[in-house]
Structure 1
Amino acid sequence: MNDRDDITGRLTGAWRTITLSVMALAGAVVLALLVVTLAEVNGQRDRALASQRHSYDVMILARTVQGTIAHAEASLSRYVISGDQQLGQVYYDDWRRAKQSIGRLAKLVRDNDVQLTHVAILQEAFRTRGDELAMAALSTNYGKNSQALSRLYQARQSDALTRINDSLDGIITDERLLLEMRTTQARASVRRSTTIAKVLAVFGVLLVGGGITMGWVMVEALADRAIARDEAESERLRADELAQAVARATEELRAQEARLRQVQKMEAVGQLTGGIAHDFNNMLAVVLSGVELAGRHLPPGADEAARHLDGAREGADRAAALTARLLAFARETAINPEPIAAAALFDGLGDMLTRSLGDGMTLVLEDDSAGWCVRVDRVQLENTLVNLAVNARDAMDGRGTLTIRATRATLPGGDASGPSGDFLALAVTDTGCGIAPEVLDRVFEPFFTTKPLGKGTGLGLSQTFSFARQIGGEVTIASRVGKGTTVTMLLPRDRRGEEIARVPTPATSSPAAPPGPAEPTADGGRAILVVEDDPRVLSATMEALADLGHHPVACDDATRVAAVLDEMARVDLILSDVLMPSLTGPEMIATLPLAFAQVPVLFVTGFAGEASGGVALGDHPVLRKPFTLAALDRAVTAAAARGDNPAPLAAE
């Protein structure tokens, strides 16, 4: 029995050993399969995330191409209208960036035949669109603006831009569908892998349920699986957060695009307005000069003709005033910026506003600015506040309370949609009828007005908008129907101006006397070279100078000035237009020979502010168009007095 028991024990031990070995081997196999399954789950997760990132990169790059092309075409439109070379450079740079982005897009989708087809169509349409726009840009470079506008209009009728947008939309749509398909496949694969892992885990538990070692291994495997599940959940949450962030960024981009379109529209209208007003000033210069010359040569007793001329002069003056307002809207820089505090501003405006508003209005001025200053043109700021006050009076039918309040405001940084920093806030509040919500978004558009026909130009609030934007500020408007309206200007704080205001001004010696005027010619007049490309303005200016007793010499081409000067025996003054086709006035002066470097110069321009729209005029005096004979006489005398002795020229 002992031998039999011994044999049975050995057989049992051997069976147990074999069983344990089989269980250990099965457990090892189960463990290996479980590890492989988890690794596959991780690999699928990584591939799914990589596919998501790739799809987001493709969609974002496609939107970037679309926005860059739109911005390039807007820049080209402004370039064709204004002829500003900087806008042409912006168009060229944007178009080049769009081309580079399309190249990157082609690389991103090189493994997708469907997307490559969209990209091929996009590249062909982009080349076609580039050729169309290049012709308009080339015409503008050669000064053929009418031809450039015609070609720009033809380009708008082309289907190239439509094919570009359709291709980009197709790329985004296909990439979004591809992303959804990949996400669905990844989730299904993860579910299958999870199911397999569960089965293997259960089988492993059954195999090693009786062994501590196998149980410990299974516990470790279950722990690893739980960690993997948590990581998968975390990745899913991060993916959801990324999708929400993309959605928020898309909404913000749409809002910024809307604001950008509004600003671009205002800028384009401003540039167009400035050009039209400049040409109108040229015509007004001819009209006013002709009216004044006719008035000076009326025979005695021509009272009826004098009355008609006075009416014509009054109409021209009113047209000049309207043109000045248009130019103020189009102006990009202040004429004479200076530091201004709210207290000093209110002291100067109080009486004027009280007289302007009438007895039925109550004016309240509140200064809570604690001495904060802004650096602006005083005349521009006062005119802006007067315009707002007059609008408020009209909204209250001449009876009510108008409050102008100065406060401090600090806007946080990090918001690309608006300014940031410290601002002096000037709020104009009325108790009038208010503005309906459906028209509140349009009140800053030029020529938009809710007043009856003939009661307003529609430029008041647009000038306010332009003035604030020119100095880096902002304008907001809040209104309730039947309760009133508040227009708030946020003007950047000028810390340096505040420091200067705190320092006492030292006593200064009296200014030196200005240099004496250049000697006139023997008969009392001056020899003046008139450079003007517009034949009507040139003729009117020549007649006006001759009527004032001077001796003008005409030159209608800035490139011929040196030759004309060589033919003159003497010159006391060069009177030149600023913007001319061949050379600008300052460029023409810079190219003169050294022999004429000391000749005084008087520039004449129809622009306001920076008279040449960006051309540096140095320290030469400027006479604005339209001008009266008296203003011309004063400007000629003052300009000639700025120079040294008149330069004698070659003998006749």
Structure 2
Amino acid sequence: MSGIEGEIEVSTGRQTPWRTIMLVMMALLGAAVLIALVVTLGEANRQRERATRAQSHSYEVMILSRTLSGTIARSEASLGRYVISADKELGRLYFEEWQLAGQQINRLDVVTGDNPPQQKRIDALRRAYNARGSELSLTALSTNYGKNNQALARYYQARKAPALNEINQQLDGIIAEERQLLDRRTGAAMRSVDQSNNVARVLVVFGVLIVLGAIALGWLTVDALGQRATARAEAETERERSLELEAAVAQATEELRLQESKLRQVQKMEAVGQLTGGIAHDFNNMLAVVLGGLELAKRNLSKTSSPALRHIESAMEGANRAAALTRQLLAFSREESLRLEPIAAGELITGMSDLLDRTLGDAITVVARDQGQGWLTRADRHQLENAVLNLAVNARDAMDGRGTLTIVTAGTQLAEHAVGNCPAGQYVTIAVTDTGYGMTPEVMERVFEPFFTTKPVGKGTGLGLSQIFAFVRQAEGEIGLQSAPGKGTTVTLYLPRDTTAQSSVKEPLAAAPEPVAPALLDILVVEDDQRVLAATLGALEELGHRAIACSDPLSAPAFLRAADNIDLIVSDVLMPGQTGPEMIAGLRTDYPHVAVLFVTGYAGEASEAEFGGNHVLRKPFTMTALERGIAAAMALDRPTAPHDPLPADSSAHSPHQSIAAE
């Protein structure tokens, strides 16, 4: 063996342990690479899971915030419908929605428990929620006690309350802060994932050099790529969900803006109604002076036919028509108290012919047919006129101011649930038909919802048909609706037939004699308008009574003490300093025996109950109406005067009867 061969053998023998060492090192290195790769991928998975959990947590917070905003909006909308319709079911819905909002705030508090800044916002949100609840509870309480106008005013005022703005600001702040937190967490997670991926790439390069670890490393790499694709798909899905959520939030914001515009229009209408009431008060006072002066002049003239007498009669006719128009304006603005009476629908439509013609214009042809067979219904005449007028105005708009409006009054027998939820029985119907463009099925489903309207913003409030719906339901009736695009619309009011009134018409009883006032009475007249006061004094003196003038209700006690023989107080209702009912309530303790007659042309928010059972005479009035009102007031039961040996005469008249102007 030569030296070269020996060197080869020695070299081979020396290389064998090195190969083994290299294989072992490669195996160890491959195992280390494999372990490092597993650890790196595991960390990447954990980072993705943490990022996913953070995203889910943030989305839950944002969704909870938007859901809470929607719940509060629904609760306040239910309260608005409750204030308008006084439907107890809507009141219960408002209360449940508001309680649900409180539960959602508690849930939001739990979800954000690990975030102190968000906790501060949650605490501020809860305080604003409690303050807002107190404001809305007053509105609901006013509605529950029947003070609808007061409740409506409080509801509109509550729309500007700081608590509502605070709730919206805190919710927006929570969402904005959670979105920023989400961006930070997502960025940190993605950076960690990128770093892990970089390490994985290095390990893959080392794995290629290691034969035993190449296959395992390749499979792990493929698996990592699959996971990355899945993560990207999930991220894309979450992004699409986020875009959908943003679109929903934008739509909700736009709807809120529209609702705010409608509420502003409602507030304008409320202001117009209040202005109408104030103008009607002054106008009725002027008409009272005019009619009183004309009637006194007519009495002083000779009974012979003369041009002056004819002119006075013409002037009185015009003044009476102006008074009737004023009452219709008050009825349209719903400023008079509820007074139920038997009504013949056909006669009501006939009496509204002039008002309908003036309202609809010459381009609308009104056709009225009465097929009611003499049936009567029991309702408030002014509210029923208002309902028919609203339907006529809607029909005019549907016909673009030109077409034919047909109003048919009739009677029908309905089976149970034949129309809506009506019970079986006889109903008086008022059908209003137009030749307009009709409604689609989608519009028909929502036409009676409060604030829903197909008119542009500023052209309609969406309250007309909802008020009609509330009025008909209050009268225990139903509404039928028939319409199709291009075929016009028919709205039918079904009102229960008043069989009691019908029977009393068929079988009249002997009329009770009207009460007659004593020939001479000492009457204290309380009226702040000097002209009306002078006219009333003249009318009372013409009727043969002794009248004492009092222009300030706060001075009435002094007049009563000075003249202790006062038999009757004739008082205006709305006066500066003190109202008529407030003045009489203060005098009742010391002067329970003095009769009271209220005289008013506009009672504002006063109800019949606030008049204490005393008679009410509407301005403007004739001397005949004044005489009847005095007789009716004197006929009511009351304690005997201290100086009277005998009790005053009484008559069985309803304490809530009101005497209308003739």
Whether TM exceeds 0.5 here: the answer is yes
- Structure-2 separation of matches of 1:558 and 1:490: 48
Q: Which residue of 2 aligns with 1:276?
A: 279
Which of 315, 329, 332 pairs up with 2:332?
329
Aligned residue number for residue 23 of structure 2: 16
2:595 to 596, 600, 623: 600
Q: 230, 252, 263: which one pairs with 2:255?
A: 252
- Give the alignment partner of residue 36 of structure 2, picking from 29, 34, 37: 29
Q: Percent identical across equivalent pairs?
A: 37
The whole-number CA distance in structure 1 between the counterparts of 2:570 and 2:294 is 21
Matching residue of 1:454: none
Partner of 1:168: none
Shift of 1:219: 7.1
Which residue of 267, 272, 278 corresponds with 2:270?
267
Query: Counterparts of 1:617 and 1:576 in 2: how far apart (Å)?
Result: 11
Q: Contact 1:531 / 1:558 at 8 angstroms: preserved in 2?
A: yes
How far off is 1:243 after superposition? 0.9
Tell me the secondary structure at the aligned position of residue 552 of structure 1: strand
**1:578, CA displacement in angstroms?**
1.1
Judging changes above 3 Å, is the alpha-carbon distance between structure 1 residues 278 and 295 closer, same or farther for their aligned structure 2 residues? same
Q: Cα offset for 1:298? A: 2.3
SS state of the match for residue 571, structure 2?
strand
Q: Distance in 2 between matches of 1:517 and 1:209?
A: 123
Check whether the contact 1:598–1:646 (CA below 8 A) recurs between aligned residues: yes
State the 1:400 CA deviation.
6.2
1:307 and 2:310 matched: yes
Residue number among 378, 402, 406 corresponding to 2:406 in the alignment: 402
Q: Are the structure 2 counterparts of residues 611 and 227 from structure 1 closer, same or farther at C-alpha, using a change threshold of 3 Å? A: closer
Match of 1:289 among 277, 288, 292: 292
CA distance in 1, matches of 2:183, 2:631: 85
Residues 306 and 364 of structure 1: is their aligned pair in 2 closer, same or farther, counting only changes over 3 Å?
A: closer
**1:317-358, Cα deviation, whole Å (9 max, x unpaired):** 232122122211211566334799xxx8579869998xx99x
2:640 aligned with 1:633:
no
What's 1:643 paired with? Answer: 637
Which residue pairs with 2:433 in the alignment?
Answer: 428
Residue 406 of structure 2 aligns to a residue whose secondary structure is: strand
Compared CA separation, residues 328 and 376, structure 1 to 2 (3 A): same
CA contact (8 A) 2:335 2:605 kept: no
Aligned to 1:550: 545
The one-letter amino acid paired with 1:402 is: T
CA distance in 2, matches of 1:205, 1:409: 78
**SS of the residue 1:619 aligns to:** coil
CA distance in 1, matches of 2:284, 2:467: 21
SS at 1:602 equivalent: strand
Return the offset for 1:183: 8.7
Per-residue CA deviations over 1:209-242 (Å, capped at 9, x if unaligned) read 8458767766775665455445433422321221
Structure 1 residues 3, 599: CA separation in 2 closer, same or farther (over 3 Å shift)?
A: farther
Corresponding position of 2:559:
564
One-letter amino acid of the counterpart of residue 643, structure 1 = D
Alignment deviations for residues 420-451 of structure 1 (CA, whole Å, 9 cap, x no partner):
xxxx995422489xxxxxx97599779xxxxx
CA-CA distance at 1:249 after TM superposition: 0.7
Change (3 A) 1:648 1:283: farther
558-567 or 24-33, which moves further after superposition?
Answer: 24-33
Contact 1:48–1:182, Cα closer than 8 Å, also in 2: no
User: How many Å apart are 1:244 and its aligned residue?
Assistant: 1.8
Instruction: Measure, in 1, the Cα distance between the counterparts of 2:491 and 2:482.
Output: 9
CA distance in 2, matches of 1:246, 1:485: 37
Distance change >3 Å, CA 42–CA 565, structure 1 → 2: same
Corresponding residue for residue 531 of structure 1: 526
- Tell me: CA distance 1:592–1:312, structure 2 relative to 1, closer, same or farther (3 Å): same
Residue 536 of structure 2 corresponds to residue 541 of structure 1: yes
Query: Cα gap change, 1:195/1:501 in structure 2, threshold over 3 Å: closer, same or farther?
Result: farther
Paired with 1:379 and 1:107, the residues of 2 have a C-alpha distance of: 45
Cα displacement (A) at 1:471: 3.1
In the superposition, relative to structure 1, how do residues 513 and 478 fare at CA in structure 2: closer, same or farther (>3 Å)? closer
Match of 1:139 in 2: none
Tell whether the 8 Å contact from 2:284 to 2:601 is kept in structure 1 after alignment: yes
2:162 aligned residue = 98
Q: Structure 2: how far apart are the matches of 1:215 and 1:299?
A: 125
Q: 1:316 to 1:352 in 2, by over 3 A?
A: closer
1:401, CA displacement in angstroms?
Answer: 7.6
Larger Rg computed on CA atoms? 2
The structure-2 alpha-carbon separation of the partners of 1:556 and 1:209, relative to structure 1 and needing over 3 Å to count, comes to farther
Change beyond 3 A, Cα 1:612–1:331 = same
Alignment-derived partner of residue 124 in structure 1: none
Measure how far apart 1:563 and its partner are. 2.5
Q: Please give the secondary structure, in 2, of the residue aligned with 1:591.
A: helix
Shift of 1:307: 2.7
Residue of structure 2 in register with 1:616 after alignment = 610
SS at 2:576's partner residue?
coil
Is 2:525–2:570's contact at 8 Å kept on the other side of the alignment? yes
Please state if 1:587 is matched with 2:582.
yes
TM-score (norm 2): 0.59
> 1:143-158 counterparts in 2 under 5 A?
none
- Superposed CA offset, 1:498-541 (max 9, x none): 9x989x999xx999998995873xxx222222121222211211
Letter in 1 for 2:32: L
Report the Cα distance in structure 1 between the residues aligned to 2:166 and 2:388, rounded to whole angstroms. Answer: 49
Please list the CA deviations of residues 80-100 of structure 1 after superposition, one character each: whole Å capped at 9, or x if unmatched: xxxx977886677555x4168
Q: Provide closer, same or farther for how the CA distance between residues 384 and 9 of structure 1 changes in structure 2, counting only shifts above 3 A.
A: same
2:389 and 2:182 map into 1 onto residues whose CA distance is: 62
Residues 350 and 305 (structure 1 numbering): CA distance in 2 closer, same or farther, change over 3 Å?
closer
Structure 2 residues without counterparts, runs of 5 or longer: 1-7, 74-124, 126-130, 136-148, 358-363, 422-428, 438-453, 474-478, 646-662
The 3 A distance-change label for structure 1 pair 231 and 251 is same
The Cα of 1:632 is off from its aligned counterpart by 0.8
SS at match of 1:647: coil
| Distance across 2 between alignment mates of 1:469 and 1:348 | 19
The letter of the residue matching 2:27 is L
CA–CA distance in 2 between the matches of 1:213 and 1:567? 117
Paired residue type of 2:236: E
Q: What secondary structure, in the 3-state scheme, does the structure 1 residue paired with 2:587 have?
A: coil
Query: Structure 2 vs 1, CA of residues 535 and 219 (structure 1 numbering), >3 Å: closer, same or farther?
Result: same
Q: Distance in 2 between matches of 1:190 and 1:614?
A: 72
* Residue pair 2:406, 2:434 contacting (<8 A) in 1 also: yes
**1:470 Cα deviation (Å)?**
6.9
TM-score for the superposition, normalised by structure 1: 0.59
- 1:635 Cα offset (Å): 1.0
**Aligned equivalents of 1:333 and 1:299: distance in 2?**
39
Conserved? CA contact 2:600–2:616, under 8 Å: yes
Letter in 2 for 1:628: T
Kindly tell me: are residues 585 and 440 of structure 1, through their superposed partners in 2, closer, same or farther at Cα, counting changes over 3 Å? same
Where structure 1 has 5 or more consecutive residues not aligned to the other structure, the ranges are 73-83, 111-171, 368-372, 412-423, 433-438, 447-461
**Contact kept in structure 2, 1:600 and 1:639, CA below 8 Å:** yes
Deviates more, 1:541-550 or 1:594-603: 594-603
Q: How does 1:41-60 map to 2 (within 5 A)?
A: none
Structure 1 letter corresponding to 2:631? T
